[in-house]
Amino acid sequence: MVVRRLLLGLLLVCQAAVAQSGDPHADFTRDLTAIREEAYVTPRAALRRLDVLRQGHTGRELGQVLVVTSGAYWWLKDMNRAVDAALGAERLGRELHDDDLLAQAMLHHAYALSKYVHDQEAARRLVQGAARLADDSADPYLKTEALVTQGMLAEEDGDTAGGIELVTRAVDVARAGNDPDALQMALREQARLLASVGKFTEALARTDEMIAAARARGIRGQLAHARLSEYATAARAGNPKRAESALRAAVDLLEKLDAQERLAVPLANLSELYMQGRRYGEAERAATKALRISRAVGDDYGIRLATFELGLTQIYFRNIAEGRAMADKALEALKSDDQYVRMLLNYGHALGQVGFGEAALTIYEKAGSVSLAAWRKEKELSYEALQRARDNQKKQTELAALHHESVLKAAELTSARRQRSLWVALSATTCVAVILIALLYGRVAKANKALQQKNEQLFMQSTRDSLTGLFNRHYFYEQVVPRHHRKAGAASDRRAGAEGRTGGVFLLMDIDRFKSINDTLGHGAGDVVLKNVAARLAATLREQDVLIRWGGEEFLAYLPGIGTDEARQVCARVLAAVGGTTIALDDRELTATISIGFCPKALQPDAIDPDWEQLVHLADLCLYAAKTGGRNQAIGIVDAGVLAPGVIAAADADLKRAAAEGRLALLNVRGPAAVPDRAAA
């Protein structure tokens, strides 16, 4: 009896000891996952925790630590250490025959090669190999990461539609696997790609889901990442208020987390938003803080970006020489940045605001040439990708034909040697042919799908005017008219009422005396004038405004969501931008002015709303009035609410008489006094 009690007591003690000890592997996995999610906001702190975590671990667990270590170095932009850590994890994955670990290591190796070495071919091979391994994995995070990475590479190759399809599959995999961290990663990339093709409502819905999930889980690092994604999407959608709100929230979270490595760039972006709102003091403070932090942590990119924004604030404060020196030095090191053209436009705008019109024009021309070169390069890459797809299809067809020929020759030899096996050989040949045809059909279908996607991309590229780089009429008919000018039904009326504004303005602009420029100076000079005027118009209008070359020296702009008072201000800025400074030709400086006719849409959804052809026609009538009234001015209709069919007919017959009879009101905005032309010394 005593022995039985002693044994029972020992058993209870052992159970208690096991319960207290917990599951070491579960603790390791939990800690590693937490560090992986924190590595984005505090990569240096994450590296310190990883050094502690790797102590005493070998094999698969050591390989997993090395994978997360590679990611932390990637966020620090330390390419060499990121690659070294990934290679170490790859070696362990191969030695242990652990396909999941090997796939994770290959993906992180590919990130560093693609982003910092720009070795796309090597990165693509690594990603393809990792994707094949991930297909057989039961880990939803790995499968999601592989699909997201394939989507990123597809976008870099010019196949944005394919990238969106892959990332959408990644979202579905993360949801099915119930992995919230994988879902955050997939939603973040899906939002970015959707915004890149103009699907802003869907993109912002993805950021809303990310923010709600991060709040529910209480992970401040993920919430900061989601807020930064919301800022980038809202800024691209032309929603500065939401962009600023999201960016301020992200900066507050990063400051609370003491994420110094991650603060500099958001603060510099916040400085840019403040300058757009003419809050120059706040902009200077944000840029100064960004510069101080980036210097403290050794962030070269942050130093350049903060220096550029700080230089612009100095220009607005009339410290022109100091500001230009800072901006020029920073821009020289930022030429390869994705936002280089946008920074040039901000620089030109700042110089124009303080009266340095000629310097601003030089910057605008540079922005235009860089943008046009990028567009041509993108078009060239798309053609190359399309040619590769066609070549691959041709090679597959040739290989199938050669294989089929070899099968037939083998069948003939078998028939000569073994007559009795004729029917068996024929049956086998038939089966092989069926399989080959099925495989060939699948490959052709896949190639045709890729070809269709490339054709769609080429169609989008065909909507640009080759001289000015602006959109052309084709783009207006195919993209702008269906989106902004379809007839509204009950549902869209309710939606418009909820948003509060549905208006917009058409501006029809024509370069004054352009025929005289061509006749006296030649068509080459005319082309220079066209490109300069186009660049000035593009720089003056908003990002969400649509500017196209309507034909010859005529331009059409559609400004959604504004009324007549705002249109008057826009016309004044446009007239000043075009006629305020001269255009440099080879041996002289030439002044070009424009005349503008404009016509607004109705601001309220229940008001009279003529179709867009009538509105553009009325703008054309106003343009004619501006031309005959002396040029270098804008004339437009004040109130779109009076444009009943009878009023439109009266205006069509005689616009000035219709205005004199009080059937409609006209607004006149005059341009600056023309600067006289002068020959170069």
Q: Write the pLDDT tens digit of every residue in 5-16.
A: 544 444 443 444
The residue with greater pLDDT, 676 or 33, is 33
The residue with greater pLDDT, 25 or 360, is 360
Question: How many C-beta neighbours within 10 Å does residue 563 have?
Answer: 19
Q: What is the pLDDT of residue 149?
A: 87
In terms of Cα–Cα distance, which of 649, 633, 646 is closest to 666?
633
Cα–Cα distance, 417 to 412 (Å, whole number): 9
Cα–Cα distance, 196 to 208 (Å, whole number): 17
Confidence of residue 167 (pLDDT cuts 50, 70, 90): confident
The residue with greater pLDDT, 626 or 39, is 626
HSE of 142 in the Cβ direction (CA atoms, 13 Å)?
Answer: 20
DSSP per position, 12-64: HHHHHHHHHH--HHHHHHHHHHHHHHHTTT-HHHHHHHHHHHTTT--HHHHHH
Cα–Cα distance, 400 to 404 (Å, whole number): 6
Confidence of residue 524 (pLDDT cuts 50, 70, 90): confident
Q: Is the pLDDT of residue 635 over 80?
A: yes
Least confident of 323-327, 487-491, 587-591: 487-491
For residues 648-672, give the mean pLDDT.
92
Domain boundaries, the chain: 376-460, 473-485+498-679
Residue tagged 């190796």 (tokens) = 109
**What is the token pair recorded at 155?**
């976008």
Q: What is the pLDDT of residue 105?
A: 85
Tens-place pLDDT, residues 38-49: 777 788 888 888
Q: Spell out the residues 6+ positions from residue 389 whose beta carbon is closer than 8 angstroms to its own.
A: 447, 450, 451, 454
For residues 208-213, give the mean pLDDT.
90
Confidence of residue 618 (pLDDT cuts 50, 70, 90): very high
Q: What is the pLDDT of residue 391?
A: 61
Instruction: Report the DSSP beta bridge partners of residue 556.
Output: 508, 548
Q: Is the pLDDT of residue 82 over 50?
A: yes
Which range has highest mean pLDDT (359-373, 387-401, 638-652)?
Answer: 638-652
Q: Is the pLDDT of residue 612 over 80?
A: yes
For residues 91-119, give the mean pLDDT.
79
Question: How many C-beta neighbours within 10 Å does residue 566 have?
Answer: 14
Cα–Cα distance, 647 to 13 (Å, whole number): 97
Least confident of 331-335, 510-514, 537-541: 331-335
Q: What is the pLDDT of residue 583?
A: 92
For the chain, how many helices (H) and strands (E)?
Answer: 29, 9
b/e map 236-270, b = 16+ CB within 10 Å: bbebeebbbbbbbbbbebbbebebbbbbbbbbbbb
Q: What is the pLDDT of residue 665?
A: 94
Residue tagged 């230009």 (tokens) = 324
Share of the chain above pLDDT 70, in %: 78
Instruction: Report the DSSP beta bridge partners of residue 583.
Output: 590
Q: Do 616 and 633 form a contact (C-beta atoms < 8 A)?
A: no
In terms of Cα–Cα distance, which of 154, 152, 184, 160 is closest to 171?
184
Q: Is the pLDDT of residue 21 over 50?
A: no
**Using CA atoms in the order 401, 402, 405, 410, what is the torsion angle rounded to 10 degrees?**
-140
Confidence of residue 226 (pLDDT cuts 50, 70, 90): confident
Q: Is 383 exposed, middle or buried (0-12, 13-18, 19+ CB in 10 A)?
A: middle
What share of residues in the chain are helix, strand, coil (percent, to 5)?
75, 5, 20
In terms of Cα–Cα distance, which of 566, 569, 638 is closest to 600?
638
Q: What is the pLDDT of residue 569?
A: 94
Q: Is the pLDDT of residue 306 over 80?
A: yes
Cα–Cα distance, 592 to 674 (Å, whole number): 8
The rounded Cα 19 to chain-centroid distance in angstroms is 52
Identify the sign of the CA torsion 650, 656, 660, 665: positive
Confidence of residue 617 (pLDDT cuts 50, 70, 90): very high
For residues 410-429, give the mean pLDDT.
59
Q: Which SS3 state, helix, strand or coil, does residue 548 take?
A: strand
The residue with greater pLDDT, 569 or 438, is 569
Q: What is the pLDDT of residue 488?
A: 44
DSSP state of 339: T
DSSP state of 178: T
Least confident of 224-233, 302-311, 429-438, 520-529: 429-438
Confidence of residue 77 (pLDDT cuts 50, 70, 90): confident
The residue with greater pLDDT, 369 or 416, is 369
DSSP state of 674: P
Confidence of residue 20 (pLDDT cuts 50, 70, 90): very low
Q: Taking the CA atoms of the chain, what radius of gyration do you get in angstroms?
A: 32
Confidence of residue 160 (pLDDT cuts 50, 70, 90): confident
Cα–Cα distance, 23 to 106 (Å, whole number): 29
Find the largest Cα–Cα distance for the chain.
122
Q: Do 590 and 582 form a contact (C-beta atoms < 8 A)?
A: yes
Q: Is the pLDDT of residue 327 over 70?
A: yes
For residues 149-155, give the mean pLDDT.
83
Cα–Cα distance, 578 to 537 (Å, whole number): 7
Residue tagged 């949801």 (tokens) = 175
Cα–Cα distance, 673 to 223 (Å, whole number): 53
Tens-place pLDDT, residues 329-376: 888 888 777 788 888 888 888 888 888 888 888 888 888 877 776 666
In terms of Cα–Cα distance, which of 354, 360, 342, 345 is closest to 313?
354
**How much is the mean pLDDT over the chain?**
80
Q: 473-485+498-679 adopts what CATH topology? A: Alpha-Beta Plaits (3.30.70)
Q: What is the pLDDT of residue 537?
A: 95
Confidence of residue 89 (pLDDT cuts 50, 70, 90): confident
Confidence of residue 208 (pLDDT cuts 50, 70, 90): very high
For residues 103-113, give the mean pLDDT.
82
Tens-place pLDDT, residues 237-266: 888 888 889 888 888 888 888 878 778 889
In terms of Cα–Cα distance, which of 243, 225, 221 is closest to 234?
243
Q: Do 341 and 367 form a contact (C-beta atoms < 8 A)?
A: yes
The end-to-end CA distance of the chain, in Å, is 119
Confidence of residue 157 (pLDDT cuts 50, 70, 90): confident
